[in-house]
């Protein structure tokens, strides 16, 4: 499973990228606001830093305007994936931009039916929001499973990009279901390394090592 980092903070991206833990980046208007940076400037910097897809989101609501914004964003770098919402206008935009050879990430997906439409429209990525479904007492992981089944049934090339990852359990379950990609905040990716038994074992090793009085360096 590929890891996309869900942030516009370049220092956090650089740390994970240096470790080989960053296969791409996703941003959205909220993350751009949090970064305090200009969208074109920070997106260009991120795209130059990583080799994988960098999602940059349109903010228009009508297809004609979305297409214009998408074309402008796509000119930033060859690895830009234009992010559009899963609305009818977003699907129209996806269809046009995909036909032009631009990667498109269709976001704000909450059902398998929506994901099927996005695949038919030529989406490169579909982004189902797990955590937000959990927030309304639905199991977001069920939607990932349903989309995986539908895409496999018909051989769609659209990649399932599991989004709104809130926990390390979400990450594990998405990998087990077969999501192609997950996008998560840097802190979630880093927490995947944590385990109480690892900490306990390391503490025991260090105490025993101290008793030997030895040094390696």
Per-residue burial over 78-102, b if 16 or more Cβ lie within 10 Å, else e, is ebbbbbbbbbebbbbbbbbbbeeeb
Number of structural domains found in the chain: 1
How high is the pLDDT of residue 202? 97
Per-residue burial over 133-157, b if 16 or more Cβ lie within 10 Å, else e, is bbeeeeebbebbbbbbeebeeeebe
SS3 161: strand
Which domain does 43 fall in, by range?
2-212
Respond yes or no: is residue 83 known to be catalytic: yes
Query: Can you say whether residue 151 is alpha, beta or left, with left for phi > 0 and alpha for psi between -120 and 50 degrees?
Result: alpha
pLDDT per position as a tens digit, 64-81 = 999 999 999 999 999 999
How high is the pLDDT of residue 142? 98
Could you tell me if residue 152 is inside a domain?
yes
Give Cβ neighbours of residue 84 (< 8 Å, ≥ 6 apart).
Answer: 57, 58, 66, 70, 90, 91, 93, 94, 97, 104, 105, 106, 107
How high is the pLDDT of residue 173? 98
How high is the pLDDT of residue 139? 96
Give Cβ neighbours of residue 192 (< 8 Å, ≥ 6 apart).
Answer: 168, 171
Spans of the chain, pLDDT less than 50: none
Cross-strand bridge partners of residue 24: 4
Kindly name the residue from 2, 44, 62, 83 that is annotated as catalytic: 83
Q: 141, 144, 185: which is closest to 161 by C-alpha?
A: 144
**What is the token pair recorded at 137?**
């007492």
Q: Which residue has the tokens 């590929």?
A: 2
Could you tell me if residue 217 is inside a domain?
no
For the chain, the C-alpha Rg in angstroms (whole number) is 20
Q: Is the dihedral of CA 199, 205, 211, 215 positive or negative?
A: negative
Check which CATH number belongs to the domain holding 207 and give it: 3.20.20.70
Decide: 52 and 22 in contact? Cβ < 8 Å.
yes
How high is the pLDDT of residue 1? 97
d(CA 45, CA 199): 36
Q: To which H or E segment does residue 148 belong? A: helix 140-154
């Amino acid at each position: 499973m590929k890891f996309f980092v869900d942030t516009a903070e370049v220092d956090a991206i650089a740390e994970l990228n240096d470790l080989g833990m960053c296969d791409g980046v996703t941003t959205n208007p909220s993350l751009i606001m949090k970064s305090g940076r200009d969208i074109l400037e920070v997106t260009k910097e991120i795209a130059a830093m990583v080799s994988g897809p960098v999602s940059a989101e349109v903010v228009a609501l009508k297809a004609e305007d979305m297409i214009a914004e998408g074309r402008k964003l796509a000119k930033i770098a060859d690895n830009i994936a234009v992010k559009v919402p899963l609305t009818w206008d977003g699907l129209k935009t996806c269809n046009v931009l995909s036909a032009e050879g631009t990667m498109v990430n269709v976001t704000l997906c909450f059902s398998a039916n929506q994901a099927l439409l996005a695949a038919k429209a030529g989406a490169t990525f579909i982004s189902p929001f797990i955590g937000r479904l959990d927030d309304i007492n639905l199991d977001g992981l069920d939607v990932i499973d349903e989309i995986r089944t539908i895409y496999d049934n018909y051989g769609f090339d659209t990649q399932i990009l599991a989004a709104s990852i809130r926990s390390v359990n979400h990450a594990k379950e998405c990998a087990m279901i077969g999501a192609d990609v997950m996008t998560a905040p840097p802190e979630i990716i880093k927490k995947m390394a944590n385990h109480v038994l690892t900490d306990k074992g390391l503490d025991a090793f260090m105490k025993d090592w101290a008793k030997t009085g030895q040094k390696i360096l």
